Structure 1
């Protein structure tokens, strides 16, 4: 069967398309090989960078132990020791990460990082405003020491025992066993109640008695029970005051 002009054209186009696909495939393979070779060449630098980070991490731990050993028994405000430990340890790790980045990434400099992040610009300033505010508030809280770990505090709608005071936030454990993380800026700028700030404090308990009960007899019974309790201070006598009439009880306030 004779070959037509149309068949010849189709064969020529097929012959041209095959080399293009092959060239594209080889180009992808070559690019992948170059990336793999470049990555393999950078592995020693990545390992060195990791070693640097680990070294500075251990240095930060050693720094914290040295600060605690030197200042732990000499400074009355133990929270101030924590400030030195955490801020100093964070700076050491930051320096280690910067050195590791210089080793692992060709041409990297801290100046380029600052330029890429745009630190100092208005946008970044607003973005980091809350973070810096919490950090500064955390440092001021640790230095001024309005409360300590183990104190019972009330902040807004949350009440519980302080478990940890960090640079950014404070962790408390509520009386029903929940953990609450409160930003330090809220604790520093808002009203805060420290229930355990003093060794002794007066408690108020509302008590209701029936309308048919004698108020004076009820007061005497309550005072007698409080005088027998070992946890009630003898320096300030307890008192019982009638405060109002409820729907079904006479309300007494025991102090």
Structure 2
């Protein structure tokens, strides 16, 4: 009975304490609701102010996120101080400092991606809208958050990549510049005049519509192939994937057309077969004679 009485008394005390702090809980709840609207409004104001500046889209997102996080941290600290008057923001920060090691180990990946996201947003080389390649993923950057980066693949799939993955591995920013160099190889027959073939290829590529005329077209004799002398052709065009496809399609068709008009062969692979033993050619009705020539006994038709 004593234990039951003690439990009842403790429950009654807890209920009394809960009723006593109900006003503080209500005020803290209202403060959190106000914090939500203030953080949302502050992010919108920051977006409007920064949209008139020359800051990159990733930096604008970073500033908006930091503004929202700062307001939320302050709101939560003030709400905790209201509910627990004996706990000050300094005490809360001290407790958080003591538990930071344990939290760091528990949420290592989250903090790693968070810091990587901040550093990626500060980069000048990567912007929203750029097409990038990183290891086995590629796509156009649609959004950079503090946790991950959203890439839109050319076939329209959305790839969500952790920021730490992009930070640790080499990233090829394909569209970092407006133009980039493209290349293709073509082979001509061994009996073709290489100087004449080089001029034909050069003129055909230089006249292509999607090839930049302010950059030189390069045509080099590269190697002796199995059936052809191979040329390496380089030109400059737009850096976007669609620009690469358009210019490559136009260059390949122009080279083929120009070589055909000049009577210069783009050979198929040739194969030379060498037989160590002599072979006979049989004609209709001469099967016996052919076998006699090779020393084989004639066969009887059954």
When normalised by structure 2's length, the TM-score is: 0.57
Query: Is 1:48 matched with 2:27?
Result: yes
Please name the residue that 1:183 is paired with: 163
Deviates most, 59-68 or 121-130: 121-130
- Report the CA distance shift for 1:123/1:32 in structure 2 as closer, same or farther (over 3 A): closer
CA distance in 2 between counterparts of 1:180 and 1:245 reads 45
- Report the CA distance shift for 1:37/1:233 in structure 2 as closer, same or farther (over 3 A): same
**Structure with greater proportional helix content:** 1
Output aligned runs, 1:19-58, within 5 Å.
20=1, 24-25=3-4, 27-58=6-37
Query: Is 1:143 matched with 2:122?
Result: yes
CA distance in 2 between counterparts of 1:133 and 1:236 reads 43
Q: 1:153 aligns with which of 132, 135, 144?
A: 132
Larger radius of gyration: 2
Paired residues, number: 232
Cα deviation code 1:100-147 (max 9, x no counterpart): 112233533333333434448766666677666654543343334211
- Report the CA distance shift for 1:179/1:144 in structure 2 as closer, same or farther (over 3 A): closer
CA distance in 2 between counterparts of 1:184 and 1:145 reads 17
CA distance in 1 between counterparts of 2:130 and 2:147 reads 19
CA distance in 2 between counterparts of 1:241 and 1:169 reads 43
Please name the residue that 2:63 is paired with: 84
Superposed CA RMSD in Å reads 4.3
Deviates most, 145-154 or 126-135: 126-135
Cα shift at 1:162: 0.9
- Report the CA distance shift for 1:34/1:219 in structure 2 as closer, same or farther (over 3 A): farther
What 5-or-longer segments of structure 1 have no aligned partner?
1-19
Cα shift at 1:76: 4.4
When normalised by structure 1's length, the TM-score is: 0.65
Q: 1:167 aligns with which of 136, 139, 146?
A: 146
Deviates most, 42-51 or 244-253: 244-253
